[in-house]
Structure 1
Amino acid sequence: MRQVSRNEVPQHQVPQQDGTHLREPRDGRDGRVHRLVSSPAGRTHVVEQGSGPLVLLVHGFPESWYSWRHQLPALAAAGYRAVALDVRGYGRSAKPAAPDAYRLLDLVADNAAVVEELGETSAVVVGHDWGATIAATSALLRPDVFRAVGLLSVPYTPPGGPRPSEVFAGMGGDEEFYVSYFQEPGRAEAEIEPDVRGWLAGFYAAFSADTMPGPDAPDPHFVSPGKTLRERFPAGPPPAWLGADDLDVYAGEFERTGLTGALNRYRNMDRDWEDLAGYAGAPVTQPSLFVGGGRDASTTWLADAIAAYPTTLPGLRGSHVLDGCGHWLQQERPEDTNRLLVEWLRELDG
């Protein structure tokens, strides 16, 4: 199995924005520093706190760097340089117009460039949801940069197997799996963008342990023929972890940027399958950690992937499932997540 060098990962012209510092009033008092750094995307927005070995934090859908707000101070207090980024297409990071500019190869290139632009030669990469897949692929393709990988919610599954779009099309019978729903350009945007804040609130509630629909309710992972995903979101109060100010942050970003950049990640899954064909079945050998939620379908539906970790993650140092936790685990259970991350990081550096 060959290693991908940085020159083989797609590179693009970048604007002269290196070192630009941005501060928000809500963040200026707590030690978080906002920065734009050059990357193959054009620019990547990062938020950092602390000093020490670099830990790069990669969010999932539909979130932003802000999903790591509880981890940044905890990792900084433990002696690490914690850096949360906006994935390309999100927040203040660049949003390339080409739909195929959101493949995993591009996101790996962004991550590696961020490490270099921050003046580091290596990092631990930790990801949640799509960020877990991006983190695992970063470790797989750039072991020279990413010395360890932490995965939250979504287990590692090696590249290969059937074409993703064919797998998803076969799920749900007469209903449509949400991934297939997201893959059609413009379709999900038409549902979400008229009421971004309301849609996000429902989506977060649908997959949070304290607000998700009961077992007898229609599954929010699927869409009925001619319907929308939102029709299956629960009514009622928001999840306990999601304050009005937190929802304002998420909604404000997506109201400004739209959802197309974020949704383009789903629209490149077949391209990823083709790009990574040479890595079919490949393990991630660096030291690793997995943390999932006991009530999260991303964890429970992929139990076979977790069972395969002795082969697929031979460097695994810990695998944990948090009882009674949903999908947004670093926000639902920040203290548990922080403890597990810090214990793992200290073991790595001990």
Structure 2
Amino acid sequence: MVQVIPSFGGWIAYALALLHPEKVAGIITSNVLFMPPGAFTDQFVFPEGFYISRWQKPGRAEADFGRFDVKTVVRNIYTMFSQSEVPTAGENEEIMDLVKPSTPLPSWITEEEIETYGTLYEKNGFRRALQVPYRAMHTVGSEVQDPKIKVPTLVILGEKDYVMKLPGMEKYIRSGAVKKYVPNHETIYVPNGSHFVHEQFPDHVNQLILAFLDRNKHLAVV
């Protein structure tokens, strides 16, 4: 099985590859590279106001999101994560305060799409999205003695993605340190791509996925 998963959904794919390697033939994801368990505390140190730090605390994000209707929360997340700066709140701010109501949506997403996504979250809420990955990322694969992803892995990364500005992240990627844990790793950078590169440039990302599959024709695709 080749798993094609955007953004933090990649953590689920990596966990499956660690725990059940016989079930995974390859992984394609956008934005998120594999890091060993504990990396977010041992290797990458973030400020208290960093959005992941805030959302990992039970109740913090719920209280922040609860000040707004669901559509506004989804709209704010798309607006904020499409920028190149790392979402970090000040001492007297919450993450939702980082987006001004007058800030326009990125040109590649419509209000109708935001409405559709908002409807889905109105039905199911944000609890599961907060639990996985933010509140579970420290435990993913923690029981594996030598955490390595051995299958071919492609990460499609926007060059203007704020992920590139996380402390130590660019060095981790460009120095090849990631290959210590993912020997058969490939990163492809998309010029002007944001954190939502798969939605921003869907045709281009589709071509990158197809090219990866073509290079790995022996893989069983599901």
Name the residue aligned to 2:7: 129
* Equivalent residue letter for 2:201: R
What's the CA shift for 1:185? Answer: 1.8
| Aligned twin of 1:331 | 199
Q: Deviations over 1:239-289 (max 9, x none)?
A: 12211221111100111222122112222234x06x614335x32111121
Decide whether the 8 Å contact of 1:294 with 1:323 is kept in 2: yes
Within-5 A mapping of 1:34-113: none
Pairwise CA distance, 1:151: 2.3
Q: Distance in 2 between matches of 1:254 and 1:167?
A: 33
Q: In structure 1, the residue corresponding to 2:144 is in which secondary structure? A: helix
Deviation for aligned residue 1:125: 0.9
3-state SS of paired residue (2:21): coil
CA distance in 1, matches of 2:3, 2:214: 15
1:210-249 to 2 correspondence within 5 Å?
212=83, 221-234=87-100, 235-249=102-116
The change in CA–CA distance for 1:184 and 1:319 in structure 2 (over 3 A counts) is closer
**What is the match of residue 321 of structure 1?**
189
Provide structure 2 residue ranges, at least 5 long, that are not aligned to the other structure: none
Kindly tell me: are residues 315 and 337 of structure 1, through their superposed partners in 2, closer, same or farther at Cα, counting changes over 3 Å? same
Partner of 2:149: 284
Change (3 A) 1:322 1:279: farther
| Distance in 2, Cα, partners of 1:200 & 1:190 | 15
What amino acid is aligned across from residue 205 of structure 1 in structure 2? T
In the TM superposition, 1:294-313 aligns within 5 A as 294-301=159-166, 302-306=169-173, 307-313=176-182
Q: 1:184 to 1:140 in 2, by over 3 A?
A: same
Shift of 1:147: 0.7
In structure 1, the residue matched to 2:53 is 180
SS in 1 for 2:116: helix
Residue aligned with 2:113, SS: helix
Taking the aligned partners of 2:74 and 2:53, their CA distance within structure 1 comes to 19
**Contact 1:293 / 1:329 at 8 angstroms: preserved in 2?**
yes
Aligned mates of 1:240, 1:251 — CA distance in 2: 18
Kept in 1, the 8 Å contact 2:154–2:212? The answer is: yes
1:348/1:220 CA distance change after superposition, 3 Å = closer
Residue 204 to residue 292, structure 1, CA distance change in 2 (3 Å): same
Structure ranking higher in strand proportion: 1
- 5+ residue gaps, structure 1: 1-122, 214-218
Q: Larger C-alpha radius of gyration, 1 or 2?
A: 1
TM-score where L is the length of structure 2? 0.84
Report the residue type matching 1:311 in the other structure: K
SS in 1 for 2:34: coil
Higher helix residue share? 2
Coordinate RMSD, CA, aligned: 2.3
Identity %: 25
- Report the more deviating stretch, 336-345 or 258-267: 258-267
Partner of 1:171: 46
- Larger relative contact order (CA 8 Å, sep ≥ 6): 2
In 2, Cα distance between the equivalents of 1:320 and 1:220? 21
Structure 2 counterpart of 1:255: 122
